[in-house]
Amino acid sequence: MKKKIFGAVLITVITFVGCWNFNQSKKKALLSNLILANIEALAQSNESSTEEKGKSPETKRCKKTFPDGTFTSSVERVCTPSCSSCTCTPVPCGEPFYN
């Protein structure tokens, strides 16, 4: 009787450890995929740089219209000619940008 109980407990522990290990490896794979997606997005944003040389950034008000027809006031970054050593990257209305 003790052997049967010990065997059942042993099988339960082995099953639990196997399931836990499988779950941990799944989490690592999801995290790795997320990291790779972030790196790829950063690489693509650098490839499509629209930096304009000889221009400086200027922030202007604009009207951001949404697909459902509603709108809000926002800002956009436009590039204006100013100096030969300046650079500027224009940003459309409503998109985030950093100074």
pLDDT band at 20 (very low <50, low <70, confident <90, very high): confident
The answer to whether the pTM exceeds 0.75 is: no
What does residue 75 show for φ and ψ, rounded to 5 degrees? -135, 160
Interatomic CA distance for residues 17 and 3, integer angstroms: 21
Q: What is the pLDDT of residues 29-49, one digit of tens each?
A: 666 777 777 777 777 655 556
Q: Of 60, 68, 47, 69, whose CA–CA distance to 92 is shortest? A: 60
Q: Please, which pLDDT band fits residue 18 given cuts at 50, 70 and 90?
A: confident
